[in-house]
């Protein structure tokens, strides 16, 4: 009998242990947020396990979005889509987040947490949700696995947090959902936030320490020790024999005698040789035969750097490369070369003449001629072949045309221009032969310059919108930059003193080589653009911002709302329409506004209509309130 009782007792204990083991490994939903109710994070009412408390907060303001039903992996089924919560601006890296806080008297009995979530982002919203956990709400540890919101659709995800043992069997647990990876200030949304865990008691106390085990085998031999210090230095060796006397071959500082043509100062190998004074390199002899004065890196066989080379006369059969070449002998300077004279600068003393006798004067870049260098304010410049583009500049170091003159130019002969003539300020012409336009009188004997358009037509002020070529004697002449005279005899005629086009072409205004404004052949004014959208017929079309002190738009108003026969939508139907269409009835959708724009007059009328409708709703609600107060007072007085 005792054996039977012992066996039964042992079986009962084994069955109880097995039952407890099964209970400890089962997962229990402890918090479920469907976000279908509540008007703030503080007013949310999640479904919670017994003796569990929970709250949700966010770094951003409360905002909702169209939600979704829970997916197949959810811990608890939420069958209604309803609402989701949204983070309007999810930019930054883990700086914006939701915080899920858990507490309650039974939280310390839970471990092995799992998180379920459905997440969605806009096109520029956060692309990653990083999970971080804490037990004090201050010190957080990031979880290794992240979540990826769906782009435009909710993405279902489950994270197993059972490896985060630090939050097991705790009195408080904090879980953060941090946004990162946004390409702009887009939106991040979450729905059906659920948490489940294993219900089990806290760990029991440790058992008694067992007896000490037997001594283990001897360990392996350790590594060699560090190297010892360096020994004492040995004694100095014996001095070697004295070298040969070099004085016989030495050059004397006061001169040498008995030298021959075979004697020299220099090197017998490929080493360079240089001469110094005041311990500074002065002359360089390269192993390749190049000589440098003032430079230790001569680029030519004879290179002078930094200082000028003064010579009485120089005759060269090859080329001369020099930064500064100055010849001073008498009042007339002769520089004779049989080939090309190459020089960055040719300096000539003031009041003297420089004469060149050479086949060619030039260099790979520009030739620069400067006069009167003694007065910085009186410097005159001439550049030839500037920047290797064949341009000549007089009075400027940066010619922009084939001939650029900075200052006045006096020409006694003829000017023949086959392409364009650009004049920066003033062009003075004492006389011109031929027929042209006059600027100062109606006399046909005073001829001035002729202006034409790209087609060769003479440009003139219009006479009654007739655009034919004008002739001398007609009071029609070109418009001039800087101002124009208005003929008093025609001042009352609106068709005189006109600028524009006479054919089926647009009129354009350009600054800094960019078109700024255009008047089309149909009379539409375009600013900041050169064409209109197909089918558009706006009299003023601006691509950019407009600022004005006052804008007046003609509109009809919305007084019809207060007419007795006006059909005002019920609040029930209004609510259905709003949730179905996501905008007020009669108001264009956001996509329509983005595609077609908004008419100020129509939009103001529409907004006024909605304000007047809201006023009627308020009046009606006030009447209902008054009736309810009246009934309430009657009940209280009984």
Domain CATH code at residue 40:
2.60.120.260
Whole-angstrom Cα distance, residue 504 to residue 385?
A: 44
Same domain, 54 and 187: yes
Structure confidence at residue 416 (pLDDT): 66
Average pLDDT, the chain: 75
Residue 232 lies in a domain: no
Structure tokens at 73: 């992996």
Q: What is the largest CA-CA distance in the chain?
A: 151
Structure confidence at residue 366 (pLDDT): 58
Is the Cβ–Cβ distance between 472 and 436 less than 8 Å?
yes
Let me know if 79 is exposed, middle or buried by CB neighbors in 10 A (0-12, 13-18, 19+).
Answer: exposed
pLDDT higher than threshold 80 for residue 194:
yes
Structure tokens at 496: 């005189």
Residue 31 lies in a domain: yes
Mean pLDDT of 224-236: 76
Structure confidence at residue 310 (pLDDT): 52
Element containing residue 25 per DSSP (H, E): helix 2-25
15 phi/psi in degrees, rounded to 5:
-65, -40
Q: What residues contact 76, with CB distance under 8 A and at least 6 apart?
A: 29, 32, 47, 70, 194
Q: Which residue has the tokens 């034919």?
A: 468
Identity of the highest mean pLDDT range in 225-239, 305-319, 460-474: 225-239
Is the Cβ–Cβ distance between 116 and 27 less than 8 Å?
no
pLDDT grade, residue 217 (50/70/90)?
A: confident
Same domain, 42 and 116: yes
pLDDT higher than threshold 50 for residue 623:
yes
Q: Which of 371, 405, 439 is the last residue of a domain?
A: 405
Structure confidence at residue 144 (pLDDT): 86
Residue 70 lies in a domain: yes
Whole-angstrom Cα distance, residue 60 to residue 189?
A: 12
- 369-383 per-position pLDDT tens digit: 655 444 455 555 566
Structure confidence at residue 125 (pLDDT): 92
**Does residue 194 sit in helix, strand or coil?**
strand
Structure confidence at residue 412 (pLDDT): 73
31 phi/psi in degrees, rounded to 5:
-155, 135
**Does residue 15 sit in helix, strand or coil?**
helix
- Residue 491's domain spans which residues? 429-502
Say if strands 83-87 and 64-66 run parallel, antiparallel, or are unpaired: antiparallel
Residue 330 lies in a domain: yes
Q: Which of 199, 229, 264 is the last residue of a domain?
A: 199
Same domain, 470 and 570: no
Whole-angstrom Cα distance, residue 96 to residue 417?
A: 69
The count of other CB atoms within 10 Å of the CB of residue 131 is: 23
Whole-angstrom Cα distance, residue 605 to residue 551?
A: 15
Q: Which of 523, 547, 571 is the last residue of a domain?
A: 547
pLDDT higher than threshold 80 for residue 485:
no
pLDDT grade, residue 195 (50/70/90)?
A: very high
Same domain, 179 and 65: yes
Is the Cβ–Cβ distance between 362 and 386 less than 8 Å?
no
Same domain, 288 and 389: yes
Residue 234 lies in a domain: no
377/152: higher pLDDT: 152
pLDDT grade, residue 353 (50/70/90)?
A: very low
- 51-84 per-position pLDDT tens digit: 999 999 999 999 999 989 888 889 999 889 889 9
Same domain, 397 and 280: yes
Q: Looking at the 3D structure of the chain, how many domains does it have? A: 5
pLDDT higher than threshold 70 for residue 122:
yes
pLDDT higher than threshold 70 for residue 368:
no
Whole-angstrom Cα distance, residue 426 to residue 586?
A: 63
CA torsion sign for 397, 398, 404, 408 is negative
Mean pLDDT of 426-445: 45
Structure confidence at residue 161 (pLDDT): 93
Same domain, 599 and 528: no
Structure confidence at residue 430 (pLDDT): 53
Structure confidence at residue 191 (pLDDT): 93
Same domain, 466 and 608: no
**Does residue 436 sit in helix, strand or coil?**
coil
Structure confidence at residue 120 (pLDDT): 94
Structure confidence at residue 237 (pLDDT): 67
Is the Cβ–Cβ distance between 187 and 122 less than 8 Å?
yes
Mean pLDDT of 89-114: 94
Same domain, 464 and 563: no
Structure confidence at residue 132 (pLDDT): 95
Residue 586 lies in a domain: yes
The count of other CB atoms within 10 Å of the CB of residue 114 is: 17
Whole-angstrom Cα distance, residue 460 to residue 478?
A: 4
pLDDT higher than threshold 60 for residue 247:
no
The string over 308-337, giving b where at least 16 C-beta atoms fall within 10 Å of a residue's C-beta and e elsewhere, is ebeeeeeeeeeebbbebbebeeeeebebeb
168/452: higher pLDDT: 168
**Does residue 309 sit in helix, strand or coil?**
strand
Same domain, 606 and 474: no
Same domain, 574 and 514: no
Residue 389 lies in a domain: yes
Instruction: Please state, in angstroms and as integers, the Cα–Cα distance from residue 322 to each residue in 96, 275, 282, following that order.
Output: 67, 21, 17
Same domain, 451 and 513: no
Residue 563 lies in a domain: yes
């Amino acid at each position: 009998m005792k054996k039977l009782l012992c066996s039964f007792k042992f079986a009962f204990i084994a069955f109880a242990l097995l039952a407890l083991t099964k209970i400890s490994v089962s997962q229990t939903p402890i918090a479920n947020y469907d976000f279908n109710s509540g008007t703030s994070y503080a007013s949310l009412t999640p479904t919670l396990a017994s003796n569990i408390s929970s709250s949700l907060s966010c770094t951003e303001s409360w905002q909702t979005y169209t939600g979704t039903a829970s997916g197949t992996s959810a811990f608890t089924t939420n069958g209604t889509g309803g609402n989701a919560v949204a983070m309007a601006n999810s930019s930054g890296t883990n700086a914006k987040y939701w915080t899920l806080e858990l507490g309650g008297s039974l939280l310390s009995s839970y471990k092995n947490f799992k998180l379920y979530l459905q997440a969605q982002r806009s096109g520029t919203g956060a692309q990653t949700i990083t999970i971080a956990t804490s037990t004090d709400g201050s010190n957080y540890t990031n979880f290794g696995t992240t979540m990826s919101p769906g782009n435009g659709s909710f993405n279902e995800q489950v994270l197993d947090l059972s490896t985060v043992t630090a939050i097991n069997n705790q009195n408080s647990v904090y879980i953060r959902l941090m946004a990162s990876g946004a390409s702009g200030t887009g939106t991040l949304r979450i729905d059906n936030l659920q948490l489940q865990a294993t219900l089990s008691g806290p760990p029991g106390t440790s058992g008694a320490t067992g007896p000490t085990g037997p001594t283990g085998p001897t360990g392996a031999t350790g590594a060699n020790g560090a190297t010892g210090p360096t020994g004492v230095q040995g004694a100095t060796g014996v001095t070697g024999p004295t070298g040969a006397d070099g004085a016989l071959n030495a050059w004397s500082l006061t001169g040498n005698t008995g030298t021959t043509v075979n004697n020299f100062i220099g090197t017998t190998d490929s080493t360079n040789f240089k001469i110094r004074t005041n311990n500074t390199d002065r002359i360089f002899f390269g192993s390749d035969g190049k000589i440098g004065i003032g430079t230790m890196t001569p680029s030519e066989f004879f290179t002078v750097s930094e200082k000028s080379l003064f010579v009485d006369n120089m005759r060269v059969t090859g080329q001369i490369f020099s930064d500064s070449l100055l010849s001073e002998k008498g009042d007339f300077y002769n520089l004779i070369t049989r080939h090309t004279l190459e020089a960055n600068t040719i300096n000539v003393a003031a009041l003297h003449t420089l004469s060149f006798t050479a086949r060619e004067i030039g260099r790979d870049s520009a030739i620069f001629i400067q006069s009167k260098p003694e007065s910085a304010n009186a410097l005159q410049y001439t550049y030839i072949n500037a920047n290797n583009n064949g341009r000549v500049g007089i009075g400027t170091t940066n010619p922009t045309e084939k001939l650029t003159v900075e200052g006045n130019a006096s020409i006694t002969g003829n000017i023949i221009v086959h392409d364009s003539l650009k004049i920066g300020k003033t062009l003075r012409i004492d006389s011109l032969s031929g027929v042209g336009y006059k600027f100062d009188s109606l006399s046909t004997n005073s001829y001035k310059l002729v202006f034409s358009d790209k087609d060769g037509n003479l440009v003139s002020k219009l006479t009654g919108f007739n655009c034919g070529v004008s002739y001398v004697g007609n009071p029609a002449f070109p418009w001039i930059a800087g101002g124009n005279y208005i003929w008093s005899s025609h001042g009352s005629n609106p068709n005189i003193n006109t600028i524009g086009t006479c054919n089926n072409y647009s009129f354009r205004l350009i600054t800094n080589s960019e078109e700024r404004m255009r008047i089309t052949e149909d009379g539409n004014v375009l600013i900041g653009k050169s064409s209109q959208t197909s089918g558009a017929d706006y009299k003023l079309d601006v691509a950019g911002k407009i600022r004005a002190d006052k804008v007046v738009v003609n509109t009809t108003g919305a007084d019809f709302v207060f007419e007795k026969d006006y059909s005002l939508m019920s609040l029930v139907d209004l609510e259905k329409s709003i949730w179905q269409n996501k905008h007020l009835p009669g108001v264009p959708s956001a996509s329509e506004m983005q595609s077609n724009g908004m008419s100020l007059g129509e939009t103001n009328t529409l907004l006024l209509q909605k304000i007047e409708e809201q006023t009627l709703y308020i009046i009606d609600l006030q009447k209902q309130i008054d009736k309810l107060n009246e009934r309430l007072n009657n009940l209280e007085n009984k």
